[in-house]
Amino acid sequence: MNKPLKLCPFCKSVAKRTGGTIGDITINSCRCSNRECIASFTSVDYDVWNTRPEGTEQTTVLKWLDDEDTWGSGFKEAAE
């Protein structure tokens, strides 16, 4: 929890810690601090945020989203 968070893979802004404690359960999450960034709309477990592969950048994520194998060919055809 004390490790610094990586920068946002989309806009390179700093990450903001979110979450808290509910009873005995601690929720450790973060999101992008840039309110105009897509990664600011939802929180992600900060271990997941920090363990993404080095070099994960917007172009890599967008390529993954555009990949037919990610969603299946039917989804891509319906969107066109």
Q: Are 12 and 40 in contact (CB under 8 A)?
A: no
Which residue would you say has higher pLDDT here, 14 or 3?
14
Q: What is the rounded CA–CA span in Å between residue 6 and residue 19?
A: 17
Domain that holds residue 44: 15-79
Please indicate, yes or no, if residue 7 is contained in any of the structural domains.
no
Please indicate, yes or no, if residue 62 is contained in any of the structural domains.
yes
Please indicate, yes or no, if residue 2 is contained in any of the structural domains.
no
Q: Are 46 and 52 in contact (CB under 8 A)?
A: no
Q: pLDDT, tens digit, for every residue of 5-23?
A: 989 888 889 999 988 888 8
The confidence score (pLDDT) of residue 76 equals 47
Q: pLDDT, tens digit, for every residue of 30-66?
A: 999 999 998 888 888 888 888 766 665 556 656 655 6
Provide the number of structural domains found in the chain: 1
